[in-house]
Amino acid sequence: MISPRHEEARKVAAIVRQQLKAQGAMGAEDHAVKVLRRLDLGPEACLDLLHYAPGRVIGFHTRTAGGFRPGEKWTVETRDKAALRQSIMYPGERKSVWELVQALRSSKPQSSNRMMPDLWATPKRK
């Protein structure tokens, strides 16, 4: 099925999902899937603490000072609004976003790979 607009695609998907449920080809229970969209931020924006809102995911391409390794994905978990501090989580570890930004400032590119991490966010639903 081809649909030129996202709105139409959602309507078509809902109809197909209803038909598959009616035929028993699909379970009756729906499951939520978290989708991340990459934010195209420049190197300067990656150093701005305001972009590290709770729920965003930070992905690393190269080894970065502060113990961040290639392939790791850290999630921004909390923000202490009084102190303007956020923390990031990786299984078994917790660091502050301030540590991350300081590590990015002190890191030197080790190759032609991008030094700045990718930042992903969950798109807002309409």
User: What is the reported pLDDT for 50?
Assistant: 78
Residue 109's pLDDT band, with cuts at 50, 70 and 90, is: low
- Identify the pLDDT of residue 111: 47
User: Amino acid identity of 80?
Assistant: D
45-81 pLDDT, tens digit each: 887 877 888 888 888 887 777 788 888 888 887 766 5
Domain range list for the chain = 1-31, 37-121
